[in-house]
Amino acid sequence: MKTLKERINTEWIFFDGALGTMLQKKGLAAGQCPEMWNLDHPEILIEIHKAYLEAGAHIINANTFGANRCKVENVKEVVTAGISLAKQAVQESHRQDAYVALDIGPTGKLLAPMGDLDFEEAVSIFAEMVRAGVKAGADLVLIETMSDSYEAKAALLAAKENCDLPVFITFIFDENHRLLSGGSVQSVIPMCEGLKADAVGINCGLGPAQMLPIVKEIVQISSLPVIVNPNAGLPRQLGNQTVYDLSDDEFAFWMKEIAALGVQGVGGCCGTTPSTIKTMIQTIRNCPFQPIAPKKMTWVTSYSQAVQIGPKPVVIGERINPTGKKRLKEALRNQEYEYILSQALEQEIAGAHILDVNVGLPEIDEPSMMKEMICQIQSVTACPLQIDTGNIEALEQALRIYNGRPMVNSVNGKLESMESVFPLIQKYGAVVVGLCLDEEGIPEQAEQRVEIAKKIYHKAEEYGIPSKDIVIDGLAMTISSSSQAGVVALETIDQISRELNGYTILGVSNISFGLPQREIINSHFLSMALTKGLSCAIINPNSEDMMKSYRSYLALQALDPQCKGYIEAYGSVPTQKFTDSSENMTLKQAIQAGLKGRAEQLTLELLNQKDPLEIVDAELIPALDQVGKEYESGILFLPQLLMSAEAAKLSFSAIKEKMPQDNKVAKGRIVLATVQGDIHDIGKNIVKVLLENYGYDVIDLGKDVAPEQIVSCVKNENISLVGLSALMTTTVVNMEKTIRLLHEQAPHVKIMVGGAVLNPEYAKMIHADHYAPDAMGSVRYADQVFLKGQGE
C-alpha cells in the first residue's frame, strides 16, 4: 500500500472541514477552550470526526490546534486524548484509507524581535506537542493557519526533529497575497521546501474564490504537493453568530476551479461542515488529477522578500565583511551594532538584493556574534542574507535562527568541507556557494575549476541537494599578482553557465587587489563577467561605478523593460532615505529605519538644540506617520512597524527625561487609557508625560482597557477628568461604549478624547466633552476643567 507521502502526489487527498464551527454548533461557548472538549465531551468529537469520514475525507484533524503550553496546562493529556478520539472514529468507520493528523496551530504569541517569544522556546513548545502526538499514534503532522514565517519555521523544525511522519504546512494569506508578518508565496514556499515539509498550502482567512489567485501563485512556485483548505466564503455577523456566505454547491464549484489549477489536497476551514466536504468530494473525485511537477527555481528569501537566482543577475552587498575594513573590525570588537546595521541599510538602499554577513575576526566568538548579527540585521531590513563563514558552529546557529531561506558562503571541493557543510544545507535548506578549490588548492585552468564544480554538484546530490541550489564561485584572484586571473575566472563562469547550465558567483572586487583606483578595474570586470553569464555579483553596491555597470548591463541585455530601473536611478537626482551616509541620518530617518540606538543617540543630540515637544512634533510623529502610510500601502510589514515603534519609544524616553517638571501640588487627578482592543499607546504615553509635567496627577490604566475597568476606577478614585485614546477605526466603537458607560454611571466626569483616527466632529458624535488634537491640547483642556472649572 502506498504511503501518505506517495499518495498525496498520485491521487486526490481530501481533508476534513471546520472543527471549531462544529463544536460551536454543539454548544462550545465563546471564550471556552475547544481542546478541553477532548476530555469533557469525547463523544461529540467522535461524532464530528465520523461525520467527516462519512463525507469521504481522508485526513481527519484531531482537536489539537491550540493544545500548546501557551494555551493549555496539560499538553500531553489533551493531545493524547485528541489523537485517540480521531483514531477511534477512523476505526469505528472502518476506513483503511484515512489518516489522523496532529493539528498544530500558532502559539498566539509573537516571536522576538516582533514579540517576546524566543525562537528556541517556540521550537520547544511545538516539539512538546509533536512528541505527544507521535506517542498517541498520529499519522501525520498538519501545521496550519500560520501567519508568520518565523513561527512556521519553528513548528517545521520541531516536527522534523521529533518525528518521521509526513509534515504538511498551510498558511493564512490575506487578499494582498501576504502573511500578517509580510511573507509572500515566493518567500514562504521555498523556505518550507528547504525545511523538508512534505506538502504546503493555504487555509483559513479567505473563501475559495478569493484564494484562487493565491493558489495559482503557489502552484507555479511549489515543487511540493499543494493543499487548499478555504473558509466557506467570507464571514458575516448575524446577531451574535458568524455565518459564511457560500452554500455547499457554491463552495464545491469554486473548489473544482481550484482543483483544476493542479493542487493535490483539498478540504475546508471555518464555516465548512461535513455536508460542505461531501459535496466538494463528490464534485472533485472524478476530475483529472495532476501531480505537482518539480520546479527549476532557486530562491533566497527573508521573512518577506524573495530573490530569484537566474532570471537576472543578483547584487550581493559585500560591506559587512571585516576583511580590510578597519571601522567594521572596530564595530565588531566593540559590539557597535548600530554601525553594522547602518551598513546593512545603506547597501539595501543602494540596490543590493542580498547582503553578505561575515563577522569572522580571530578575537571574536564567531558563533554567538553571527547569531546576534543575523537577528539584528533581520530586525531592520527585509533583504535576504548570505551567511558567510567557515566556522561550522556559526553556520549552524545562523541557519537555525535565520527567518527565511538564506544563501550560504561557502562549501568547497575538499571532502572535509562538503561533509561538514552539506548536512546542514540538507537539514535547513539554503542556496550554497561552491568554491572551485579542493585539497590540491586553486587550479590555474578553468577546465580544472569546472571539474571541481562537477565534484561539488555530485557530492551535493548524495545529500539530496539539487544542483539548482548550488552557485559556483569561479574565484576572482588578483590580476596584480597573476595576469591570467581575470581570464581564468571569466572562462570558468562561461563554462559553468553554458556547459553545465549552472549558476555562478564572483567576489568581484578581489580582482583589483593591490591596484590603484580599483573601481575602474572592478566595474569593467563586472560588465565582462555579466556578459559571460554571471548569476550573482558580490560587490560594493555603494559604489556608483559598480552600480552603473550593473544597471547598464540590465538595460542593454533587455533585462530592464523600458529601462525603468535605469531611469529611476539616473533620470533625476535620486531621492535617498539617508542624505549621503548614515552618519548624516536624521532622527526621523532613524525611527523609520527602526534603528533604536541611533534614534536614542540622535534624540539626545537634538535635545541640546530643540524644545522636547518640537522634537516630538517635527521628528517622532512624522516618522511614525510615514511608517504607517508605508505599512498601509504594503511597502512595509508588521515587523518593520514594530521596530519603528520601538525606536520611537526609546526616543521618547530620552525626551521625557528632559521635559521641565512642575513640582507644585497636583492641579488635579486624571485617568488615562487606550481603549479596549487597541494596543497603540505611544500617543497616550506622550499625553501622560505632558500632563504630569504640567502638574497633573495621572492614573494610567494602560492600553486595551475594558470600559468597565475605566468606569470602576473613575468611581473608586472620584475622578473628574478622563482621557481616552484610540488609533483604529475598529476600536473607536469601544471608545463610544466607554463614554456611554461613563455617562450612565459617572455623569459628573468630563471626557476628553484623542488619537489619530479621531476628529472634532466624530468626538462630538460619540458624546465626548472634548477632542484634543495633540498632547498640548490635553493640557489646555485639563487647565480649563481644573483651573477654570469650565469643561465644554
- Cβ proximity to ligand B1M: between 292 and 698 the closer is 698
- Cβ proximity to ligand B1M: between 225 and 639 the closer is 639
Q: How many CB atoms lie within 10 A of CB 420?
A: 15
- Cβ proximity to ligand B1M: between 530 and 621 the closer is 621
Out of 195, 525, 754, 766, which residue is the one contacting ligand B1M (CB under 6 A)? 754
Rounded CA gap, 173 and 153, in Å? 16
Out of 443, 683, 695, 707, which residue is the one contacting ligand B1M (CB under 6 A)? 683
Contact 333, 361 (CB under 8 A): yes
Which amino acids are annotated as binding site for Zn(2+), given as ranges?
A: 204, 269-270
Q: Per CB under 6 A, does 641 bind ligand B1M? A: yes
391 secondary structure, DSSP code = -
Angle at the Cα of 698 from the Cα atoms of 696 and 703, rounded to 5 degrees = 145
Burial class (CB in 10 A: 0-12, 13-18, 19+), 42: middle
Out of 146, 192, 687, 766, which residue is the one contacting ligand B1M (CB under 6 A)? 687
Out of 211, 521, 775, 782, which residue is the one contacting ligand B1M (CB under 6 A)? 775
Using CB under 6 A, which residues numbered 592 to 631 contact ligand B1M?
621, 624-625, 627-628, 631
Give start and end residues of each alpha helix (H) in 146-207.
149-162, 185-194
Using CB under 6 A, which residues numbered 663 to 682 contact ligand B1M?
672, 677-682
Q: Per CB under 6 A, does 149 bind ligand B1M? A: no
Q: Per CB under 6 A, does 774 bind ligand B1M? A: yes
- Cβ proximity to ligand B1M: between 500 and 757 the closer is 757
Angle at the Cα of 117 from the Cα atoms of 116 and 122, rounded to 5 degrees = 175
Out of 19, 180, 539, 671, which residue is the one contacting ligand B1M (CB under 6 A)? 180
- x/- contact string, 81-110, with ligand B1M (CB under 6 A)? ------------------------------
- Cβ proximity to ligand B1M: between 683 and 695 the closer is 683
Q: Provide DSSP, 230-268.
A: --SS-EEEETTEEEES--HHHHHHHHHHHHTTT-SEE--
The residues facing 670 across adjacent strands are 698, 721
Contact 312, 559 (CB under 8 A): yes
Q: Provide DSSP, 106-158.
A: --SSPBTTTSSB-HHHHHHHHHHHHHHHHHHT-SEEEEEEE--HHHHHHHHHH
CA distances from 233 to 16, 256, 407, 482, 553 (A): 16, 15, 39, 67, 48
Q: Per CB under 6 A, does 113 bind ligand B1M? A: no
Q: How many CB atoms lie within 10 A of CB 323?
A: 12
Q: Per CB under 6 A, does 684 bind ligand B1M? A: yes
Residue 686 C-beta: closest distance to ligand B1M, Å: 4
Residue 250 C-beta: closest distance to ligand B1M, Å: 29
Residue 623 C-beta: closest distance to ligand B1M, Å: 9
- Cβ proximity to ligand B1M: between 136 and 204 the closer is 204
Out of 363, 416, 583, 632, which residue is the one contacting ligand B1M (CB under 6 A)? 632
Stretch that binds ligand B1M, among 16-24, 197-205, 433-441, 638-646 (CB under 6 A): 638-646
- Cβ proximity to ligand B1M: between 284 and 645 the closer is 645
The gap between the terminal CA atoms of the chain, to the nearest Å, is 79
Which amino acids are annotated as binding site, given as ranges?
A: 204, 269-270
- Cβ proximity to ligand B1M: between 396 and 600 the closer is 600
Q: Per CB under 6 A, does 638 bind ligand B1M? A: yes
- Strand 226-229 relative to strand 298-301, pairing: unpaired
Closest by Cα among 197, 100, 196, 105 to 145: 105
- Cβ proximity to ligand B1M: between 20 and 628 the closer is 628
Q: Per CB under 6 A, does 243 bind ligand B1M? A: no
Residues near ligand B1M (CB under 6 A), total: 40
Q: Per CB under 6 A, does 226 bind ligand B1M? A: no
For residue 748 the three cell numbers come to 459628573
Rounded CA gap, 393 and 498, in Å? 35
Closest by Cα among 233, 293, 234, 283 to 263: 293
Q: Per CB under 6 A, does 445 bind ligand B1M? A: no
Rounded CA gap, 245 and 209, in Å? 11
Out of 314, 383, 655, 686, which residue is the one contacting ligand B1M (CB under 6 A)? 686
- x/- contact string, 720-749, with ligand B1M (CB under 6 A)? ---xxx-xxxx-------------------
- Cβ proximity to ligand B1M: between 15 and 150 the closer is 150
- Cβ proximity to ligand B1M: between 396 and 681 the closer is 681
Burial class (CB in 10 A: 0-12, 13-18, 19+), 730: exposed
Rounded CA gap, 684 and 606, in Å? 23
Q: Which residues of this chain interact with ligand B1M, rule CB under 6 A?
A: 180, 621, 624-625, 627-628, 631-632, 638, 641-642, 645, 672, 677-684, 686-687, 723-725, 727-730, 752-757, 772, 774-775, 778
